[in-house]
Structure 1
Amino acid sequence: MKKIVLVAAVAVLALSLVGCNKSGSSNKGKKEALNISIFTIQQREQPPADNKAYKWIEEKFGVTFAWDILVGDKDQKIGLLIASGDLPDLVEVDSEKFQGAGCLRDLKPLVEKYAPNLRKHYESAWKKMIDQDSEKDANGNIVKEHIYSLPNYGVIDGIPSDTYYNQNGWWIQKAVLKEFGYPKIKTVDEYFDLIEKYYKKYPTIDGTPTIPFSIITADWEAFDLWNPPNFLAGYPNDGNGHITLENGKYVYTDNFTDENAYRWFKLANGYFQRGLIDPASFTDNRDQYYAKIAQ
């Protein structure tokens, strides 16, 4: 069954935890075996044993990985990890709970001392990475900067060299574009108008009702609903809001209450009333949503 589905990737953070360095003494000239444990909320299969990149990392640096991939409720899992004190070396998650529990190391001095290339890579985003709870003086000015997370999304240094496109976008099936001669779509209205034309022409496909447009709103992937105004206004993915530089200061505006959000949700409501947005978008869990787009 063909469907028109908005798909976006979550913005996640790679965080280094306190007291998790498992390396021991090493012999000069000999690679020390190091196994790095990782917890991730991205519910996907871990790389196979014959993964070329993983094999190269192990041969080059003596590093292997042990994955703990989320199963079940995210917040419950994070709470159990914190309570147990048995923490992984790295976590890839969209939660501040590890930081709130004092589990994270300050990465700023480590990056500056041991990872000059990483520091260069994050040059454009470095100031944005400074934690808002860093030490401040009586006037509220930060006197000692701390960085607890390294964003693995949305920071580009040099020429992008991805082997596949895995970014946010207003996706539409090629069958729809082909049906109408591959038109150039420049506005949100043009996008939904095209979907509506296809939907009216093919209300069912293979005997199954066609779903014009669907959004995943379950758990942490609910950003698919509230990120569009950010992107439509031309801002990058800076989380649940956008950051602008005004008079030498960074100003954060959330994605939920500004003018762009009002315009988007008003448009989305209109598309919903026209029957173009799947009502189950707001009740389906992750498994139900992905089962739909897999058909």
Structure 2
Amino acid sequence: MAKKLWTAGMAAALAVSMAACSSGNNGGNASPAESSGGSSAPASGSASATATASEKPLDKVTFSFFSGVAGEKDLNTNETTIGKALEDQTGVNFKIEHLVGDLNTKIGTMIASNQYPDVLIPDAAIEEVLKAGAFIPIDDLIEQYGPNIKRVYGPYFERMRADYGGKIYFLPLGPQVGEFSADPNINQGAFWVQRRVLKEAGYPKIKKLDDYVKLVEDFVAKHPEEKLTGMLTLTNDWRFFATSNPPMHLAGYPNDGNVMVDIATNEAKTYAGSENEKRWLKTLNDLNAKGLLDKSSFVDNYDQYIAKLTSHKVVGFFDYGWQMANAQNVLKDAARKDQSQDDFVYFPLPVTFDGTHDQYLDPPGWTSNRGIGITKSAKDPARIIQFWDNLLKEENQVLKSWGIKGETYEVDDKGRFYRTVEQIDKLDDAFNEKFGFKTFDWDWPQYGTSSTLADGNAVAPGYQPEVFQVGLTEGDKTILDKYGVKTYAEMFDTPEDRPWFPAWSIPKEQGSPQQIWETKKDDLQKKYYAKIALAKPADFDSAWDGYMKEFAKLDTAGYEKWYTEQIKKIVDVAK
């Protein structure tokens, strides 16, 4: 589960960036605070002018860099505008290679050969890398060369050391810096519905799951000629959590992974095998019995899922905004060209079982079991640390997130950053790749997405109200006005502070009882969910009982006890 959710988190960060064409959120994973190395607003002109160059030019060097995440383009960072500017400042270039094939096989080969790239992001295999002694401790390097690293990561040092035996071996990605800046869009979980459904119903406030289901059911019944799909769900490969996660959200909890954590007692309880899970599966079973659930949900791949969401035939579904963003962007682009197409754009709803408190929006998070480290094979660890420290200067966080003043953003007379419509329109995939927004979006030491700069600007352009407003379609403005809000986030409750969030990132060793529990639990859900959801209503209870008989063999009490202990330790460290 942790692996799936981390990959999800990285994809979320990328989705925030890729949504720039529609919402102006390019480079959405940077952030800042008080800079110890320069002004907060870059100068206009060339990219090299956006940050202070080194006092003495250094010999150029290229370091090898491996990211354990597939699907990105291999390149040299100095082939991008941002990377070239950073090379001009530091003399450092990185040759980046991304995962092809199986992660564990790739990392296992490195460990067996004892040969590593200079810099490594091992993703879910990080515990194996640490166990093999592949990362060098970087405490002394930070002390000598890392004033900005200390500024940004300092509040987390004790937790970083506590997690890994008193030493710092890697830098997690995205610590919170400055004030919390809420995402005006919904890139996290929600129950989505076509806007035309809400329009036809008179823009009701839907908060309960039963009301949401009835809304979908009534709309499908009124439009039989369209042969609509009431709901579908996503189960493909690691994305299965889009179907297994709803019980915790419906119960009023954020995405902590496999557990729901009581904010008062810090007790962790899994929702797998619970009444919450049973109630969610009963909802899917009822939808199926009424012909409203797409049975192919349990066999479709991700591309098929996205294609169905853009077909105008799917009325509603649950998913995370970052994961369905490819479909939503297609629908929004069509609505910009033809306003009547806005009917098919999806609107997020904060649905829970009882219709009261929701926690879909993420609080500031700290992912401590993923990050970037320097390996024992690195030829010059000091230069790498110096590069990271330079990258964390506030002006360089602006560069990697906002870009260049006058080219990819502007500054008004009050010092507020914004983007023009023309700038937003040019931030397509090809531009983002060439400029370096894609390359520097996530896999680096950086400010967290919800951070703010020392001058109050949001680090992530998409979190800046001025950018959000410019990116709205006429349809966006209309439906937000109908609900009396200015952002989609205002439809949802404010996230509560949770020092452990996300709980899924608490380190677990490969082969540990906790990791084994998660693997077996995932396997059981993938085996039984389709059987339970697609069973005849009269057979629902027996299908559920079959699942629970197998689930009872797992040491769930031990898993919950371990999680509770870990969470309480984190809370103690955070005090």
Instruction: Give the TM-score normalised by the residue count of structure 2.
Output: 0.36
1:235 is matched with: 253
Separation in 2 of the partners of 1:52 and 1:152? 22
1:278 is matched with: 294
Match for 1:195 among 210, 216, 226? 216
Change (3 A) 1:246 1:111: farther
Match for 1:266 among 270, 274, 282? 282
Structure 1 gap ranges (5+)? 1-8, 15-26, 136-143
Separation in 2 of the partners of 1:290 and 1:210? 16
Offset at residue 217 of structure 1 (A): 1.1
2:204 is matched with: 183
Q: What does residue range 100-139 of structure 1 map to in structure 2 within 5 Å?
A: 102=132, 105=135, 109=139, 113=143, 114=146, 115-119=149-153, 131=163
Q: What does residue range 1-295 of structure 1 map to in structure 2 within 5 Å?
A: 10-12=8-10, 29-30=56-57, 37-39=65-67, 41=69, 43=71, 66-69=95-98, 76-85=102-111, 89-91=119-121, 93-94=123-124, 98-99=128-129, 102=132, 105=135, 109=139, 113=143, 114=146, 115-119=149-153, 131=163, 144=166, 150=172, 158-160=179-181, 162=183, 165-203=186-224, 205=226, 209-244=227-262, 250-295=266-311
Offset at residue 184 of structure 1 (A): 0.8
Offset at residue 239 of structure 1 (A): 2.1
Which structure shows the bigger proportion of residues in strand conformation? 1
What CA RMSD, in Å, does the superposition of the two structures yield over aligned residues?
Answer: 4.4
Using CA pairs under 8 Å that are at least 6 residues apart, name the structure with larger relative contact order, 1 or 2.
2
Change (3 A) 1:258 1:169: same
Note the alpha carbon deviations across 1:142-179, whole angstroms, 9 max, x for none: xx4777673659x7862326585422222222222222
Q: Which moved further from structure 2: 171-180 or 45-54?
A: 45-54
Paired residue secondary structure (1:39): strand
- Aligned amino acid, residue 65 of structure 2: S
Separation in 2 of the partners of 1:290 and 1:251? 37
Aligned residues between the structures = 254
Return the index of the structure with the highest Cα Rg: 2
Which structure shows the bigger proportion of residues in helix conformation? 2
2:329 is matched with: none
Change (3 A) 1:167 1:285: same
Separation in 2 of the partners of 1:170 and 1:116? 40
Paired residue secondary structure (2:191): coil
Separation in 1 of the partners of 2:100 and 2:64? 20
Offset at residue 261 of structure 1 (A): 2.5
Change (3 A) 1:220 1:189: same
